[in-house]
Amino acid sequence: MRKQASHQSEEADVNITPLLDIVFILLIFFIVTATFLREKGIDVRTPEDTPPDDIVIPPPALLLAVQEDGFVRVNNVRVIDPASVKPVVQEFVAREPQGVVLVSASPESESGVAVQVMDQAQDGGAGAVSLALQKERE
């Protein structure tokens, strides 16, 4: 009888150490040679980042309210005729050169009165004249 040669099964070992060495060398190479660009984008400033603006003080205002009956109420204090708005505005402009004139017309008032008051205000030397419509009463 013949004896069979007994071979022990040899397990194949794969040595990955050189492979890991090469991977780490390539990783270091790519990190060192990479160029990082800082791209310019939109500069976003949140409200916390921006310094507070100077306090803006609104200019003094002269309120001329055109009433339903055609008369004009000055700063809700006195009532005058629409034809006598010019001296009131001239006095206001002399006191407050940077002041503005606000004309507030009632919805029931005639439009011609509001236009006359605005014209008188501009003739009186007002730099800025604004027109607003009063709210209707419910």
> What percentage of the chain carries pLDDT values higher than 70?
85
Using pLDDT thresholds of 50, 70 and 90, give the confidence band for residue 13: confident
Distance between CA atoms of 102 and 109, rounded to whole angstroms? 16
Q: Are 106 and 67 in contact (CB under 8 A)?
A: yes
Q: How is domain 61-133 classified at the CATH fold level? A: Nucleotidyltransferase; domain 5 (3.30.420)
Please tell me the pTM assigned to this model: 0.58
Distance between CA atoms of 76 and 64, rounded to whole angstroms? 8
Domain boundaries, the chain: 61-133
**What string of DSSP letters covers 14-62?**
---HHHHHHHHHHHHHHHHH-------------TTTSPPPPPPPPPPEE
- For residue range 29-49, what is the model confidence (pLDDT) as tens digits? 999 888 877 777 777 767 675
- For residue range 38-89, what is the model confidence (pLDDT) as tens digits? 777 777 767 675 566 677 788 889 999 999 998 999 998 899 998 899 999 9
